[in-house]
Chain A
Amino acid sequence: MDMLKIAIKNVKDSIGLYRLYIVSMIFSVMIYYQFINLSDNPTINLMEMSDIVGALTFMAIFIMMIFVVFFLFFSNTFYIRERKKEIGLYILIGTTPKKIGMIIAIENMIIYAIATIIGVLSGIIFSKLFIMITIKYLNLGMTIDFHISTRAILQSLITFMVLGLLTSLNGYLRIRTKSIVALLKGKSMEEQIPRGNIIIGIISLIILLGGYYCSAIMDTMNLLFTGLGAIILVTIGTSLMYRSVMTSFFKRALSFKKYIYKNNRLLVVSTLMHRIGSNYKVYAAVTIFLACTLTAFATSASFKYGIDDMNKVRNPYSIKFETSTPTGLYDDLITYIQAQHGQLAYSNQNLPYYVIKSAGLSVYRGSSQMDIVAYATYKNSVQSMDYKTEKAVLYNGALDDNQCLYLNPGESIITVANVKYIDVEGVKYNTQKSIKAPLFGNRNDTMIVNDQLYESLKSSIAVDENGQLKQYYFNGIKIVNDEDFLKIHAVALQQIADDYQVTLDYTMTSLAMESETIFIFIQLFYVIGIFLTLTFIVATGSIIYFKIISNASEDIHTFRLLYKLGMGKKAILSVINKQVSIFFAFPLMIAFVHAYFASKALERFMGISLLVPLIYSSLTVTAIFFLYYWITIRRYKQIVLS
């Protein structure tokens, strides 16, 4: 009972120290609860994709747990260090190490209990909001009931209390294994000036470049080797870089007296060298985490971003129809639309194609029914749509008679299946290129061949049992603001088509997005990715905060001395600002570079550009880091200027 009282009092006294820790933990608990609650929601479980939601959330929870465990153990160690002196004093006045270890463990459990309970409670409160955001992004067009899942509550409570026990044990062991003298010395000046070694510095840069090179040559064939290689090399390279390159660099800078004796740079640079050199492991870990976070953030954001592209590939036209002979319907429709002041975006008439019932593909594609078009037809069509007219969707060069192109109707944004050949009636046509581009919209896979081959294959394939030629003519019209226009004129247009005995196929761009399951998936992925990323950023920011603040108490003496030596308050504040901002900026900047290379590698798998989402996610992370910078500076000044 005694120990409990002391523990409670200690927590109360040091709540200022623990504040950010508790807040980060509450946030983690809250997100954790959300994920479980979401996968447990009865409305979502009724939907056809509940399995995938479950799998996705499980994966998200798993990734999150790895990170949270690292974060919690790190901060636990930080607090023990921070309080070493106090603990030593307890032992000196006769408390047994066992007892003091228990007190610390109980304190830790109290903090965990507070954070977990508040986290779950705010999780329950915010779950409505979370679901609302999810629905909004998913455009589900239905209501998901507000639901409190007992399983989610229990699971959150149990998980975090177990983590609390483990970290308490960690703290307890840390205290018991230290000698009293070591404890009393408090936060030791363990750190010597790290020796920046130029050779190790150069080696670390080479290792880093090796990692980047691995990411640059990464493809499906060597993924295991290059992927693993890139991760390991970049991690080692980053860590060595903080240890050697930076210290050598700062050391050199310190010898340029002309530069260093101006504007208090002497203080800023020497402190940076000292701190980064002695904490290089933490900064390396933070940088790698940040790089992963940025990449993950950009990737999930690109899903959202790639959806528009995917929608365009799948639904390029507002009105489409096919006929077996060329007709005048297209002209009639255009005349009508123009008379009604409809604005045409682009349109194509009578694009000829025919269908193979079964083609053999080098990869399994479910259905093997394929459309065949001539390259000229495809080229005109894709150019008329003004769809990414750069090389990516066109083929530079002439297609031989045993060659073809493979076009995917946009089933996923992850990758274009790498089809090596297409087998038509025993003849293999080598695929020169796999393309994802709009043609007829959401239909079969398409095989694109040169014009002669198109004609010669036509006679052997595009004939029915009676020897009749079976070719089709595709017509598509894209109207600007098709939703508004078709609402009024759909019926009239169909009446025109009736004369030709054709049924028009309408697709309104925005509505298509809401109804197709595939879009819902991707957006769900997006939402989960964003929430995960937020947790990561919050925790990473906190780690840097802890690191800086734990150094602040050592800095008190330094700044007091500088003040005595006649350094103005303004100059001291400016030194503090510079130091703290660089501590945040360095990991962020290096992470940007890492993330850039990682996204370049991912781009090749996904077939879409990640640059814009990467820039967005970088900006977001920078903004959040600014907030952290502000919090850190405030606390730092409180400590140093007191």
Chain B
Amino acid sequence: MNQIIGMKDIKKTYQSRGVETMALNGVNFSMTAGEFVSIMGPSGSGKTTLLNMLATIDQPTAGDIYFKEHSLTGLKVKDLSEYRSNNLGFLFQEYNLLDHLTGFDNIALPLTFDNINHKEIVKKVHEVAHLLKIEDQLTKYPYEMSGGQKQRIATARAIIKNPTIVLADEPTGALDSGSSKDLLNLLEYLNHTMNISILMVTHDPLSASFSSRVVFLKDGKEHSTLHRGHVRERFYNEILDQLIYLGGE
């Protein structure tokens, strides 16, 4: 199996003022190349914690995290930065664009960390902008853009370095339904045509129905998994049923 990312028996406890909270309680999870996976679950089920573990911005209390069969546990801070920079793309609910940079510079930002030749950067940005149809947004500053436009810029930034996997944390959380659908179609498109793997954390069953697999978390453990058939609407109903089942348990 062509596994790109995985976690084995991950436990995470937070300690604050002497009170211990268990965020993840022995989670096993893995993804193969080209998958589009959603993670769902009620608040406090550990969705975001799991995402942060894979993003290596949070360390597990116990267990191992793998990237293409290499363990990430115990790597140095510097190597972790490099790992993120070269293999991961990020999408956030709040877009997280830098306010004082234009769309163009926001997209180019990750490439500037590596001191790549500027001509190559400019070429790359134009390519991605063309792909995402955001050429007319490049000279604008974030405050001049709508939410959907900002998230597209953020998406361009996420894929500019051809990441192995894009980690998305509620990417549609701040968008209206029209822009949400646009963005999800875009993610699906990127997943299909460019074979970018996507791991998305979401509350929204509609968003989740765009993915190929949905993993449900509950109380820090994986609870169940749904695979998508051919029809998205049907998958959407299955997800809804599963959420009702989860809530009533």
**Closest chain B residue, CB of each to CB of A567:** B113
Name B116's contact: one of A193, A261, A565 (CB within 8 Å). A261
Pick 30 A–B contacts, CB within 8 A, sort by A: A257-B108, A257-B122, A258-B118, A261-B108, A261-B111, A261-B115, A261-B118, A263-B115, A264-B113, A266-B108, A266-B112, A270-B98, A274-B99, A558-B98, A561-B98, A564-B57, A564-B90, A565-B90, A565-B109, A565-B110, A565-B113, A565-B157, A566-B83, A566-B85, A566-B88, A567-B81, A568-B77, A568-B78, A568-B81, A568-B113
Binding site for B on A (CB under 8 A): 189, 192-193, 254, 257-258, 260-264, 266-267, 270-271, 273-274, 557-558, 561, 563-571
| A564/B100 contact (C-beta < 8 A), A192-B143, A258-B118, A569-B78 known | no
Interfacial chain B residues near A563, Cβ < 8 Å:
57, 81
**Further contacts, 4 of them, CB under 8 A, given A262-B115, A561-B98:** A267-B109, A270-B98, A271-B100, A565-B110
Which 9 A-B residue pairings sit nearest by Cβ, starting from the closest? A566-B85, A566-B84, A274-B100, A568-B81, A257-B118, A261-B118, A258-B118, A270-B100, A261-B112
The answer to whether B85 touches A567, judged by C-beta atoms less than 8 angstroms apart, is yes
**Closest chain B residue, CB of each to CB of A254:** B105
Check B101 for interface membership: any CB of A closer than 8 A: yes
List residues of B (58-96) whose CB comes within 8 Å of A's CBs: 77-78, 81-86, 88, 90, 96
Cα A565 to Cα B159 in complex, Å, equals 11
The answer to whether B88 touches A257, judged by C-beta atoms less than 8 angstroms apart, is no
Check B29 for interface membership: any CB of A closer than 8 A: no
Q: How far is the CB of B129 from chain A (nearest CB, A)?
A: 15
Interfacial chain B residues near A567, Cβ < 8 Å:
81, 85, 113
Interfacial chain A residues near B121, Cβ < 8 Å:
257, 261
Name A570's contact: one of B78, B105, B122 (CB within 8 Å). B78
Cα A569 to Cα B81 in complex, Å, equals 8
Q: Which of B82, B98, B121 has the most CB of A within 10 A?
A: B98
**Closest chain A residue, CB of each to CB of B108:** A261
Cα A267 to Cα B112 in complex, Å, equals 10
Q: How far is the CB of B133 from chain A (nearest CB, A)?
A: 22
Cα A558 to Cα B57 in complex, Å, equals 15
Interfacial chain B residues near A261, Cβ < 8 Å:
108, 111-112, 115-116, 118, 121
Interfacial chain A residues near B113, Cβ < 8 Å:
264, 565-568, 571
Check B23 for interface membership: any CB of A closer than 8 A: no
Binding site for A on B (CB under 8 A): 55, 57, 77-78, 81-86, 88, 90, 96, 98-102, 105, 108-113, 115-116, 118-119, 121-122, 141, 143, 157
Q: How far is the CB of B162 from chain A (nearest CB, A)?
A: 13
Interfacial chain A residues near B115, Cβ < 8 Å:
261-263
**Closest chain A residue, CB of each to CB of B96:** A561
Cα A267 to Cα B86 in complex, Å, equals 20
Interfacial chain A residues near B102, Cβ < 8 Å:
254
Interfacial chain A residues near B78, Cβ < 8 Å:
568-570
Interfacial chain B residues near A274, Cβ < 8 Å:
99-100
The answer to whether A566 touches B105, judged by C-beta atoms less than 8 angstroms apart, is no
The answer to whether A566 touches B108, judged by C-beta atoms less than 8 angstroms apart, is no
Name A564's contact: one of B55, B77, B108, B143 (CB within 8 Å). B55
Q: Which of A261, A262, A557, A568 has the most CB of B within 10 A?
A: A261
Interfacial chain B residues near A267, Cβ < 8 Å:
98, 109
The answer to whether B118 touches A193, judged by C-beta atoms less than 8 angstroms apart, is no
The answer to whether B122 touches A564, judged by C-beta atoms less than 8 angstroms apart, is no
Q: How far is the CB of B94 from chain A (nearest CB, A)?
A: 9
Q: How far is the CB of B208 from chain A (nearest CB, A)?
A: 23
Cα A561 to Cα B119 in complex, Å, equals 25
Q: How far is the CB of B146 from chain A (nearest CB, A)?
A: 17
**Closest chain A residue, CB of each to CB of B120:** A261
**Closest chain A residue, CB of each to CB of B167:** A564
**Closest chain A residue, CB of each to CB of B79:** A568
Interfacial chain B residues near A565, Cβ < 8 Å:
84-85, 90, 109-110, 113, 157
Q: How far is the CB of B161 from chain A (nearest CB, A)?
A: 8
Interfacial chain A residues near B111, Cβ < 8 Å:
261
**Closest chain A residue, CB of each to CB of B115:** A262
**Closest chain A residue, CB of each to CB of B81:** A568
Q: How far is the CB of B124 from chain A (nearest CB, A)?
A: 11
**Closest chain A residue, CB of each to CB of B84:** A566
Interfacial chain A residues near B81, Cβ < 8 Å:
563, 566-569
Q: How far is the CB of B91 from chain A (nearest CB, A)?
A: 11
Q: How far is the CB of A122 from chain B (nearest CB, A)?
A: 38
Cα A370 to Cα B115 in complex, Å, equals 77
The answer to whether A273 touches B100, judged by C-beta atoms less than 8 angstroms apart, is yes
**Closest chain A residue, CB of each to CB of B163:** A566
**Closest chain A residue, CB of each to CB of B125:** A257
The answer to whether A193 touches B100, judged by C-beta atoms less than 8 angstroms apart, is yes
Name B99's contact: one of A189, A254, A258, A570 (CB within 8 Å). A189
Q: How far is the CB of B140 from chain A (nearest CB, A)?
A: 11
